[in-house]
């Protein structure tokens, strides 16, 4: 297994900056409570404020998403990732664990389609945890979106403090002429 490490002394070169940047995770945190209810966003996937990645360069990433949620069995929860660049993902493989007050539902997610539902269930979820790997083909951002799974007067929420993290696995490819 290869290891990236700085071994030179003196000037901080472009190569060294690339090694450091390839080992720093991209983190995003929900800064405003998201609320979906019939009459507003309802079942339409809508951006969750704060849960957007920086520009992810082509390469492979491990990722974690942890959503603190409030949903009912009437409205449920639907979550997806919206691409900042068309056809940006090559593949995704993730484990999804959704927790309610009385049960845990686990599944896998492998669809690399723009805004595809990571989870879409009419259940009273209080937490959603997603972990896996993602292959980025074209540089861009990933925006987490949420909605009700079924239209209802009950609110579906993504709470402040929910977060996501993308960490490069090995080297990524920088944009042409980008400052690395």
Q: What is the pTM of this model?
A: 0.85
Q: What is the pLDDT along the chain (180 residues), one digit of tens a residue?
A: 445 555 556 676 776 666 666 678 899 999 999 999 987 788 999 999 999 999 999 999 999 999 999 999 999 999 999 999 988 999 999 999 999 988 899 999 888 899 888 999 999 999 999 999 999 999 999 999 999 999 999 999 999 999 999 999 966 666 554 444
Residue 173 lies in a domain: no
Residue 157 lies in a domain: yes
Exposure b/e, 3-40, CB count within 10 A at least 16 = b:
eeeeeeeeeeeeebebbebbeeebebebeebbebbbee
Reading the block at residue 11, the tokens are: 């000037």
Where in the sequence is the domain holding 92, given as residue range(s)? 25-168
Residue 10 lies in a domain: no
User: For position 7, what pLDDT does the model report?
Assistant: 58
Query: For residue 121, how far is the Cα from the chain centroid?
Result: 18
Residue 150 lies in a domain: yes
Residue 87 lies in a domain: yes
Residue 17 lies in a domain: no
User: For position 180, what pLDDT does the model report?
Assistant: 47
In the chain, the number of structural domains is 1
User: For position 8, what pLDDT does the model report?
Assistant: 58
- Cα–Cα separations (whole angstroms), residue 176 to 89, 136, 146, 173, 179: 19, 16, 33, 9, 9
Helical (H) or strand (E) element with 95: strand 89-100
Tell me the C-alpha distance between 70 and 100, whole Å.
Answer: 9
Tell me the C-alpha distance between 84 and 166, whole Å.
Answer: 15
Residue 66 lies in a domain: yes
Residue 1 lies in a domain: no
User: For position 177, what pLDDT does the model report?
Assistant: 47
User: For position 40, what pLDDT does the model report?
Assistant: 79
User: For position 1, what pLDDT does the model report?
Assistant: 41
Question: CATH code at 81?
Answer: 2.60.120
């Amino acid at each position: 297994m290869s290891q990236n490490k700085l071994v030179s002394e003196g000037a901080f070169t472009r190569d060294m900056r690339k090694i450091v940047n390839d080992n720093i995770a991209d983190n995003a945190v929900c800064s405003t409570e998201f609320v979906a209810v019939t009459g507003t966003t309802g079942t339409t996937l809508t951006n969750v404020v704060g849960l957007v990645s920086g520009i992810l360069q082509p390469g492979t990433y491990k990722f974690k998403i942890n959503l603190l949620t409030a949903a009912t069995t009437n409205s449920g929860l639907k979550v997806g990732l919206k691409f900042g660049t068309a056809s940006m993902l090559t593949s995704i493989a993730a484990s999804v664990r959704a927790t309610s007050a009385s049960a845990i539902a686990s599944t896998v997610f492998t669809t690399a389609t723009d805004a595809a539902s990571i989870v879409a269930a009419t259940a009273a979820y209080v937490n959603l945890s997603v972990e896996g790997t993602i292959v980025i083909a074209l540089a861009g951002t990933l925006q987490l979106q949420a909605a009700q799974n079924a239209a209802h007067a009950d609110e579906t929420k993504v709470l402040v403090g929910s977060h996501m993290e993308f960490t490069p696995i090995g080297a990524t490819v920088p944009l042409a002429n980008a400052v690395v």
